[in-house]
A and B are shown apart, each in its own frame.
Chain A
Amino acid sequence: MAQKIVIDPVTRIEGHAKVTVQIGDDGKIADARLHITQLRGFEKFCENRPFYEMPSLMARICGICPVSHLIASSKACDAILGVNIPANAARLRRILNLAQILQSHALSVFHLSSPDLLLGMDSPAEKRHLFGVAEAAPEVARDGIRLRQIGQQIIELLGGKRIHPAWVVPGGVSAPLTAEKRDQIQAMLPDGFAALQRTLDAFRGLLQRFPEEMESFANFPSLFLGLTDGAGKLEHYDGPLRVVGADGNVVANGLRPEDYPKYLGEVAENDSYLKSAYYRPLGYPDGIYRVGPLARLNLVTHCGTPRADHELGALRTFAGSPLLSSFHYHHARLIEMLHVLERIGELLAHPDILSPHVRAFSEPNCEEGVGMAEAPRGTLLHHYKVDRNGLMQWANLMIATGHNNLAMNRGVMQTASYFVRDGKLSEGALNRVEAVVRAFDPCLSCSTHAAGQMPLRIELIGPDGTLLDSVARES
């Protein structure tokens, strides 16, 4: 007899968050916390599934960055197979990953953050969204949707569909690139360059409007972590991890992804479903670090592509190096987008890019595998253990938002301390607390897509636990 299973309530909702601000005896803000209130459960419900299902299953974690999970998962599965994938498979995966970064960064910069940047942090909440931008500056909105579209179209051309493509598989990719598709992708790049150059020129002009935000948006010393090519060049797909300090000095280099438990730890706090990662040698919470575009640019000496290197040089001249204010995540995203277009062009020009050798076949040879890649928001890690039959026994995922959790919390504290005045929360202060979270582009940005409308509750709590003030914005 048919059964119906009803899950109620549905906990995988779209990124509801809560911020609490604690007032100390001295009337100043003593603590501020960001709480992530949803539970996913992928690590648990993949158990006893065949490992080769993981790329497609894990990609369902996200509708914005499924390609990132697809790639990290496939790399973990490559390790379980015990194979080195063909060089051209790695090139094609790289292009897919770069396209993912392009479309996701465009979403973050244009759809989510451009209302704050173009219209102003204190502009009317009812206008702070992409459509408000379209009204005020249609050319910016046009460039934004075009750039996102280019990323999505490259993903569709390679993977067969824009969201949740199944083209990346354990051992490589399922089909080689054709000359026709290569030419189509190449034909999109000039449009992308033009749109990005206009955006970068406009963005530089906007920076002077935000001195307080640059000063107060998670602007503090921390470590920075991410992949590099080992020699200090920007890297998004492979390579060892590097850690640099707030002074720009390399703290650790050549860290192997599979050794991550030795240098990364995770702590679960009782007020959030999002774990906080820390750099183990410094302990918790002193081992606070940041990942993502800002961190990636802080890790490297150069991007390795001329246009992006020119822009990186200009940013470092303007804001110093390393970049400590998380406000510069936005600028870092734009520079990475430029690099992405340049790298895709380079990869497509490789003489072997149409090679049909794109997949290695094998039975599982190892009972454990770690896969790591740079997702748009930062370093993404999938770690799997399987039994002798290749059935999943255990999984651990470390996502960018978890790496950044300590920094986001400290950023919320800093921004709230700066903008909450006389124990009162203005709409502008509320928006800035949201905006500092948004600068990190956390994967709970599934909720921040409604710029100015993010379901958010901020509470001011006195030293005796009394609720002094609250501002709520419902979805």
Chain B
Amino acid sequence: MKQPVTISKRALIIGFGNPLREDDGLGWRAAELIESEQPDAAVIKCHQLTPELAEAISQASLVIFLDASMNQAPGEVSTQHIGRENPQALSHHLSPAQLMGFTEQLFGETPRSFLITCRIENVGWSEELSRRSQRSAERMAAAAQALVRESS
């Protein structure tokens, strides 16, 4: 049964994107793979990052964001440490660094956090990833699971 995610010093995986727009659902799909293979991690899938995620982040031991990218080399899985930024205004766009900054503002200390991305090409109307992005999702999930193992 689907339950609201409760986090208590576990790794938190946040896959975000639009699963109705083909490869933009890459982060979502990678999060699904982790959900089925890594039951000790808490997984949230969402269309966009919102302030409401701050509480769950504040309770986690490690946070990994998974997203699609159009600004990196084809085939490359990028893992970046996320800094902290102060959001300047409320809009529909909140970056991982801004969300972490907001969480820090509200709850004080925040866990280590990473952003894992992979390049995508197609953002048409489809609920399925392209073959290339299906492979990318598997590689992103593997990279995230390695980080979870390292931190435990």
Contact = CB atoms under 8 A, between A and B. Distances in A.
B4 interface: yes
B88 interface: yes
Interface string B48-74: 000110110000000000000000000
A160 B3 contact: no
Given A145-B54, A450-B90, A453-B89, A184 B3 contact: yes
B146 interface: no
B89 A450 contact: yes
A451 interface: yes
Interface in B65-112: 86-92, 102, 105-107
A130 interface: yes
Given A142-B106, A450-B90, A130 B51 contact: yes
A131 B88 contact: yes
Contacts of A138: 105-106
Interface in B5-58: 47, 51-52, 54-55
- Which of A126, A131, A160, A452 gathers the greatest number of chain B CB atoms within 10 Å? A131
A131 B92 CA distance: 13
B1 A178 contact: yes
A157 B102 CA distance: 26
A184 B3 CA distance: 9
Interface residues of B, number: 20
Contacts of B88: 126, 131
A275 interface: no
Nearest to B107: A142
Interface stretch (A147-155, A276-284, A395-403, A416-424): A147-155
B2 interface: yes
Contact of B4 (A134, A135, A153): A153
Chain A, interface size category, equals 20 to 34
A126 B90 CA distance: 10
Given A145-B52, A160-B2, A111 B105 contact: no
A156 B4 contact: yes
A180 interface: yes
Contacts of A126: 88-89
Contacts of A450: 89-91
B108 to A, nearest CB: 9
A131 B91 contact: no
Interface in A437-475: 449-453
A188 to B, nearest CB: 9
A146 B2 CA distance: 20
Interface in A148-175: 148-149, 152-153, 156-157, 160, 163
Interface string B103-135: 001110000000000000000000000000000
Contact of B2 (A14, A129, A142, A156): A156
Contact of B102 (A134, A152, A184): A134
Contacts of B87: 129, 131
A243 interface: no
Contact of B106 (A141, A451, A452): A141
Contact of B105 (A129, A131, A178): A131
B99 to A, nearest CB: 11
Nearest to B6: A184
A353 B54 CA distance: 33
Given A135-B105, A149-B52, A149-B55, A130 B90 contact: yes
Contacts of A163: 47
B90 A129 contact: yes
A452 B88 CA distance: 11
Contact of B92 (A134, A146, A153, A449): A449
Contact of A157 (B4, B55, B105, B107): B4
Contacts of B91: 449-450, 453
A157 B88 CA distance: 33
Q: Which has the most chain B C-beta neighbours within 10 Å: A145, A146, A184?
A: A145
Contacts of A135: 86, 105
A135 to B, nearest CB: 6
A383 to B, nearest CB: 29
Interface in A161-199: 163, 178, 180-181, 184
A184 B2 CA distance: 12
A129 B89 contact: yes
Given A111-B51, A142-B106, A180 B1 contact: yes
Nearest to A4: B124
B1 A111 contact: no
Interface in A93-146: 111, 126, 129-131, 134-135, 138, 141-142, 145-146
A449 B91 CA distance: 7
A162 to B, nearest CB: 8
Given A129-B89, A131-B88, A184 B55 contact: no
Contacts of A178: 1
Contacts of A152: 52
A129 B107 CA distance: 18
Interface of A: 14, 111, 126, 129-131, 134-135, 138, 141-142, 145-146, 148-149, 152-153, 156-157, 160, 163, 178, 180-181, 184, 449-453
22 contacts: A111-B51, A126-B89, A129-B90, A130-B90, A131-B87, A131-B89, A134-B105, A134-B106, A141-B51, A141-B105, A142-B55, A142-B106, A148-B52, A157-B4, A178-B1, A181-B1, A184-B4, A449-B90, A449-B91, A450-B89, A450-B90, A451-B90
Interface of B: 1-4, 47, 51-52, 54-55, 86-92, 102, 105-107
The 4 closest A-B pairs by CB, nearest first: A129-B90, A131-B87, A153-B4, A134-B105
